[in-house]
Amino acid sequence: MRTQWTEVDRYIEERVLPRDPVLVEVRAATERAGLPSIAVSPAQGRQLELLARLAGARRILEIGTLGGYSTICLARALPEDGYLLSLEIDSHHAEVARANVALAALAAQVEVRVGRALETLPFVEAERLGPFDVVFIDADKDNNPQYLEWAVKLARPGALVIVDNVVRGGKVLDAASTDAVIRSTRRTYELLGSHPALDATIVQTVGSKGYDGFAMALVRGATRRVRS
């Protein structure tokens, strides 16, 4: 079945997605640099761009950069004076991502910061870099509940929050799991369903990345703004 999912993804890319030599080279450069092959698929990247455009995003926060593929997709939705901040723990990944962002002619709009996101996010707040219109969370899954709380804190009312990889091949159903990622993912579900500032859903996905899914949440009501 997974082979068929991959073939359908290829069909989508060939028939629906625009030909994009830049993203092809970004993926190749990321592979040459030895980064893990865990970036979003082309179809998923295009979805991120469209969602950011629908949100009218001018400021985007990304937690987890890898080689910058999703960063570029999101940044393409920005106006010329827009800003995307991406947080990455690995300095080599960040170096590769910056080169890829420059290749995509987006270096003026994108900043990649290196460090543990939970240590960097307080500085993002203190520097008043928000409020953000879109927050994309795709980093270490153990900390997704904390990242989600930070997303609410740093987002404007009406902002879109996306959390990737929240179905885990269906393993999220295992309430007895001792896997830290599964336990964290289940806590993320609980937070999405109970948070007073979020309206959320989960969408299951299949494709070249296997069986997984992502969360979408709308920040509602009066959240604390961090930009005057």
Task: Calculate the alpha carbon distances from 203 to 27, 59, 78 in Å.
Answer: 25, 24, 25
**Percent over 70 (pLDDT), the chain:** 96
Contact 128, 99 (CB under 8 A): no
Place of tokens 């509602």: 220
- Quick one: CA torsion of 89, 91, 96, 102, rounded to 10 degrees? 90
The CA distance from 205 to 163, in Å, is 13
Distance CA(22)–CA(20), nearest Å, equals 5
Torsion over CA: 102, 103, 109, 115 (sign): negative
Which class does domain 2-160 fall in? alpha beta
- Reference 226, options 105, 100, 125, 80; nearest CA is 125
Q: Is the pLDDT of residue 57 over 80?
A: yes
Residue among 208, 222, 225, 158 nearest 40 (CA): 208
**What pLDDT score was predicted for residue 2?**
76
Average pLDDT of the residues in 52-75: 98
| Domain ranges, ordered by start, for the chain | 2-160
User: Residue 130 pLDDT more than 60?
Assistant: yes
Statement: residue 132 has pLDDT above 90: yes
173-226 tens-digit pLDDT: 999 999 999 999 999 999 999 999 999 999 999 999 899 999 999 999 744 444
For 101-126, what is the mean pLDDT? 98
pTM of the model: 0.94
